[in-house]
Amino acid sequence: MSGPSKYQPTSAVGKWFHERLPIVAFAKDHALDFPTPKNLNYWYTFGGILAVMLVVQIVTGIVLVMHYTPQTDLAFTSVEHIMRDVNYGWMLRYLHMNGASMFFIAVYIHMFRGMYYGSYKAPREVLWMIGVIIYLIMMATAFMGYVLPWGQMSFWGAKVITNLFSAIPFVGDSVTTWLWGGYSVDNPTLNRFFSLHYLLPFVLAGVVILHIWALHVVGNNNPAGVDVKGPGDTVPFHPYYTIKDGFVIVVFFMFYALFVFYGPNYLGDAVNYVPANPLSTPSHIKPEWYYLPFYAILRSIPDKLFGVIAMFSSILILFFLPWLDTSRVRSGRYRPIFKLEFWIFAVVCVALGFIGSKPPEPVYVFWSRILTFYYFAHFIIILPVLGLMETPKPAPNSISDDVLGKSSLMPAE
């Protein structure tokens, strides 16, 4: 995609090194010179934000581990120790805790951006599917991290979610016992969750490298959804997008700081400041906000096994999105009906999240069923049919035309 390297070592040492390991050329080609469509908007800065947030989570996490004890008798108090005794421990913890939420806000924007501009369509299917794997790893990592403070919601959340596996026919109970490392959520469970919570972010970092690799093979999509036709359609990544991404990262950090310093527990649950007690069930068990739409889907179905299947399917269906959307036009910008339906779908997801936060009262159960139906209909019925029926609007012939505001009468490819 980026063509032959423009890197020429200037010193004798540089040349000697380049002939043995061309890493400087690689970094220059992929981080500085990479040809990037010149019409990318601010929605395209969230990949960069995500990469930075992953680093923030790993760095704050490693320092937290220096003071945390993964043992049921000590976990809760070790977190209190971090908050009260460790120098800036409160800040580290709040950065990590709210960092998880910021990570999910960014990933949801990043995913919906991809859905709007059809970034999952050929030739970016693998890039998209690697993204779905990243999302699954993020969910698992955050779930296990939430158990570590060993508060009431940590314990009961772990219990409810791991119990879901008991719905698997025949082997369900054995699987759950295996996950727990015993006959209930206890010390072995906390230990293995701690171990995996430490490991998975590094796996995530590896998969992110594959994600960027796949991106650099096919190149970025762009808001017009038309292919790069020549050098006139692109600009080098540096300085154009390093500056744009850098600016947005600063703004995003201001938003993040607002939570860390002014409302550190706003996105959390007060019940998790009560130490875990296996003998006292909280009146209302609910997961962190970023899982709520899926929790609503789970509870919308009266049968436990089918509820679990629906919940996992609601995420796994994303793998098939590149083939479910039959439209020839990539960007939603030129698809008038899709555009409207996209926003309905976004509202449905938010509404499912709202319902997931509510107790399972009849009115919420009723709406969760309708919304769950719509969620699946979006993928299985609406996208395939709409792609065949909709008449797209004229799209620009090239990225340069898009920047100049010109559009052809030809539908986009």
Of 29, 39, 46, 307, the one binding ligand HEM by CB under 6 A: 46
Q: Contacting ligand HEM (CB under 6 A), which of 95, 215, 292, 348?
A: 215
Helical axes 46-65 vs 237-257, angle rounded to 10°:
50
Where b means 16+ CB within 10 Å and e means fewer, 92-122 reads bbbbbbbbbbbbbbbbbbbbbbbbbbbbbbe
Q: Interacting stretch for ligand HEM, rule CB under 6 A, among 130-138, 299-307, 368-376, 396-404? A: 130-138
The one among 93, 211, 286, 330 contacting ligand HEM by CB under 6 A = 211
CB half-sphere exposure, 142, CA atoms < 13 A: 22
Does 120 sit near ligand HEM (CB under 6 A)?
yes
Query: Taken in order 5, 11, 14, 20, is the CA torsion positive or negative?
Result: positive
In terms of CB distance, is 146 or 165 closer to ligand HEM?
A: 146
Interaction of residue 127 with ligand HEM, rule CB under 6 A: yes
Q: Rounded to the nearest whole angstrom, what is the least distance from the CB of residue 297 to ligand HEM in the complex?
A: 18
Out of 61, 89, 99, 114, name the contact with ligand HEM by CB under 6 A.
Answer: 114
The pair of three-digit structure tokens given for residue 63, joined into one six-digit string: 């320092």
Question: Please, are residues 193 and 369 in contact by the beta-carbon 8 Å criterion?
Answer: no
Query: Which residue's structure tokens are 């108090």?
Result: 77
Three-class DSSP category at 270: helix
Residue 380, CB-side half-sphere exposure with 13 Å CA sphere: 10
Side chain identity, residue 331: S
Q: At its nearest, how many Å lie between ligand HEM and the CB of residue 1? A: 12
DSSP state of 40: -
Instruction: Decide if residue 128 touches ligand HEM (CB under 6 A).
Output: yes
- Which lies closer to ligand HEM via its Cβ, residue 33 or residue 269? 33
- Does residue 390 contact residue 337 with C-beta atoms inside 8 Å? yes
Q: Which positions from 220 through 239 interact with ligand HEM, judged by CB under 6 A?
A: 220-221
Q: How far is the CB of 133 from ligand HEM (least distance, A)?
A: 8
Q: Is 131 in the site for ligand HEM (CB under 6 A)?
A: yes
By CB under 6 A, name the one of 75, 82, 132, 297 that touches ligand HEM: 132
Among 33, 34, 39, 44, binds ligand HEM (CB under 6 A): 44
Please, are residues 386 and 341 in contact by the beta-carbon 8 Å criterion?
Answer: yes
Instruction: Name the site residues for ligand HEM (rule: CB under 6 A).
Output: 44, 46-48, 50-51, 54, 107, 110-111, 114, 117, 119-120, 124, 127-128, 131-132, 134-135, 208, 211-212, 215, 220-221
